[in-house]
Amino acid sequence: MNKEIMVVDDDPSIRSTVDIILKTSGYSICAVESGQGCLDRLREGFRGLILMDVMMPKMDGWDTIAAIEDEGLYKGNVICMLTAVHDPCPKLEKLTEYVMDYVRKPFTSEELLEVVTEYIEYVQ
Amino acid sequence: MKVLIVDDNTKIMAIAEVHLKKEGLEVLCVEDGKSALESARQEKPDLILLDVDMPDMSGFEVCQILKDDAELVMIPVVFLTAADDNKSRVRGLDLGAVDYVTKPFDSFELRARVRAALRTKQLQDQLATMNLELEERVDQRTEEIKQLLEQKDAFVNQLSHDLKTPLTPLVALLPMVAERTEDVESKKMLDLIMNNVDYMRNLTERTLQLAQLNSPEVSLRVEKVDLASEIRNTIESLSSVFKENGIEIVNNTTTPLDIEADRMLIKELIHNLVSNTIKYTNGDGVVTFESFLKDDNVEISIKDTGIGMTIEQQKRIFEEFYKADDSRTDRSSTGLGLTICKRIVENHGGSIRAESQGSGHGTSVHFTLPIRQSEK
């Protein structure tokens, strides 16, 4: 089965970077620039691994996860966070159970691929 | 200004009152020591003219009580003494009086002595006010500086975060480009670029770390940590690097060395210090680890046989961005590693120092950490 990956990041260079690395390794990937975009894709039936930026305008990564859970769209997906922040945010406490792992920026292609190959297995 | 006259002889008191009123002073009169103290507390006079010889409570006793009272000590006392009584004058001055007037007094002398004592009192009051103002200003300025420093840390924090995003494509994609490049010259250029990107990445990480260690909001995550096993793990994880560099390890630390500390920070501390010994010890060196228990502290010393330090270097080695080899172009060092070590140790309530017998004679770093962290 061809499992998809979605990258959610407001920064176009991060989206492109992830896109290039993962396409080069043969994954199919879609890139969206906001939490809203991520929800739209999930409503359309996306199932796969979601790489989610934490700090985004309007709806940050945690708000997005809360909304995914609210709409019952979490099932079958796996979420990993892309983050530049070390400290846990207070919002995170209730939501950590939805997050499999963290990829810290700046990441190398090896670091990204390691997380992707490990967690894509969990996508149902 | 207000003067309190204390004398059981009402006749003398009346005369003095007239003279002092001529000076434009407000005058209060009481006839015994007890009333004098009451009046001093209530009226806070600027001067007390105090008779030595009084029944019940002598002027000396009154003066003693005044000088022992923090609220009254600043009120100057001028004694009224008998003309031939040298001993009393000396005793009065020793008790803290500023002056004396002998009875029977010359009215001009009395007025002049009171004026002089009041002038001194006025200057004293001014000085006290200025002192208070100065303290307030220092407090205010200290607060301002504290806020500026916090702003600086917040700025550095933000900047380091913001740099991480644009660094990502560089860190992730440059190696991929390098892999696809056949041209030797281009490969060289890419290596140079990647080297510098790595340096930027380190610098960003380290700067952020330091800002967080400086921040009062980020507290230690304290748990039980065995220093000895942390040291052992670090040595093991770097064993191949030690071997490559021809460095022999002598680990004399006793085990276990349980302390209350932030595990991640302790790992960072030990890793930084051990990496330094590798960097500054050239082939065939020895690095020795020792531990000592001192009261409620553990001291660890890490001694190498490396290049050592000059006295100047020893003084500055923990400064931010200081590089011992003085080469600003050294891309393997950010100049922040030891500053971070110092901050980690100090945040735990410990201390760190580096010693060397001089250039070429090796370096030893000693750090002390308390076994228990006090509740905050």
How are the residues of chain B apportioned to helix, strand and coil, as percentages rounded to the nearest 5?
55, 20, 30
pLDDT(B166) > 60: yes
> What pLDDT, in 10s, does the model give residues B93-115?
999 999 999 988 888 999 999 99
Omega before B55 within 30 of 0, i.e. cis = no
Rounded-to-integer distance, Cα A46 and Cα A77, Å = 9
What's the domain range around A81?
4-122
Among A69-73, B11-15, B295-299, B328-332, where is mean pLDDT lowest?
B328-332
Percent of chain B at pLDDT exceeding 90: 60
| Residue B41 binned pLDDT confidence (cut-offs 50, 70, 90) | very high
Looking at residues B31-46, what average pLDDT do you find?
A: 94
Residue B329's pLDDT band, with cuts at 50, 70 and 90, is: low
What pLDDT sits at residue B373? 87
b/e burial code for range A56-73 (CB count within 10 A of at least 16 → b): beebbbbebbbbbeeeeb
| Region B161-185 average pLDDT | 92
More confident residue, B11 or A86: B11
What is the helix, strand, coil percentage profile of chain A, to 5? 45, 25, 35
Distance between CA atoms of B101 and B82, rounded to whole angstroms? 9
pLDDT (mean) for B278-298: 88
- Report chain A residues touching chain B, CB-CB < 8 A: 11, 13-14, 16-17, 20-21, 24, 84-87, 105-109, 112
pLDDT surpassing 90 at residue B116: yes
Q: How confident is the model at residue B220 (pLDDT cuts 50, 70, 90)?
A: confident
- Asked if B194 reaches chain A (Cβ–Cβ under 8 Å), the answer is no
Report yes or no: B66 and B77 within 8 Å, Cβ to Cβ: yes
Q: How far apart are CA B108 and CA B54, in angstroms?
A: 25
What average pLDDT score do residues A75-79 get? 90
Strand B286-294 to strand B297-304: parallel, antiparallel, or no bridges (unpaired)? antiparallel
pLDDT at B321 over 80: no
Per-residue model confidence (pLDDT) at position A1: 47
Report the distance separating Cα B357 and Cα A68, nearest Å.
Answer: 63
The CATH number of the structural domain formed by B222-370 is 3.30.565.10
What local confidence, expressed as pLDDT, does residue B168 receive? Answer: 94
Question: Stretch B109-136: mean pLDDT, rounded?
Answer: 94
Identify the CATH assignment for B2-105 out of 3.40.50.2300, 3.40.50.300, 3.40.50.2000, 3.40.50.1370: 3.40.50.2300
Task: Count Cα neighbours of A108 within 13 Å in the Cβ-side half-sphere.
Answer: 10
Residue B216 is given by DSSP the state T
What local confidence, expressed as pLDDT, does residue A93 receive? 66
pLDDT computed for residue B206 by the predictor: 86
- Amino acid B66 reads L
Residue B83 — pLDDT band, cuts 50, 70, 90? confident
Q: What is the mean pLDDT of residues B25-44?
A: 94
Residue B19 pLDDT class (50, 70, 90 cuts): very high
Q: pLDDT value at position B121?
A: 93
Burial class of B79 by CB neighbour count within 10 A (0 to 12, 13 to 18, 19+): buried
In this structure, the number of other CB atoms found within 10 A of the CB of residue B351 comes to 14
Flag if A13 and B166 touch (Cβ within 8 Å): yes
Largest CA distance in chain A: 37
For the segment B297-324, the average pLDDT, to the nearest whole number, is: 85
- Does B180 contact chain A (CB < 8 Å)? no
- Look at residue A21 and tell me whether its pLDDT is greater than 80: yes
- Please indicate whether, in this complex, the C-beta atoms of A14 and B175 are within 8 angstroms of each other: no
3-state class of B312 per DSSP? helix
What ipTM was reported for this prediction? 0.85
CATH number at A31 reads 3.40.50.2300
Among B180-189, B195-204, B318-327, the minimum mean pLDDT is found in B318-327
**Of the candidates A24, A49, A51, which has an alpha carbon nearest to the alpha carbon of residue A107?**
A51
The total of other beta-carbon atoms located within 10 Å of residue B227's CB is 23
For chain A, how far is it from start to end, CA to CA, in angstroms? Answer: 10
Which residues 146-175 of B are in CB contact (within 8 Å) with A? 161-162, 164-173, 175
- Give the strand order in the sheet containing A48-53: A28-32, A4-8, A48-53, A78-83, A99-104
Helix (H) or strand (E) holding B368: strand B363-370
Q: Could you tell me which residue, B159 or A67, shows the higher pLDDT?
A: A67
Mean pLDDT of chain B: 89
- Under a CB-based contact definition with an 8 Å cutoff, are residues B96 and B63 in contact? yes
Among B161, B165, B173, select the one facing A11 at the smallest CB separation: B165
Confidence of residue A88 (pLDDT cuts 50, 70, 90): low
Residues of A in contact with B170 (CB under 8 A): 106
Question: Which of the pair, B214 or B233, is modelled with greater confidence?
Answer: B233
Report whether pLDDT(B54) > 80.
Answer: yes
The number of C-beta contacts closer than 8 angstroms across A and B is 51
pLDDT of residue A90: 59
Interface check for B216 against chain A (CB to CB < 8 A): the answer is: no
Nearest-Cα distance to chain A for B305, in Å, is 36
For residues A97-121, give the mean pLDDT.
91
A86 with B173: Cβ contact below 8 A: no
**Number of compact structural domains in chain A:** 1
DSSP B122-137: HHHHHHHHHHHHHHHH
- d(CA B45, CA A7) in angstroms, rounded, equals 80
Confidence bin at B174 (pLDDT 50/70/90): very high
Is residue B158 pLDDT above 90, yes or no? no
Q: Name the pairing type of β-strands B26-30 and B77-82.
A: unpaired
Cα B70 to chain center, whole Å?
29
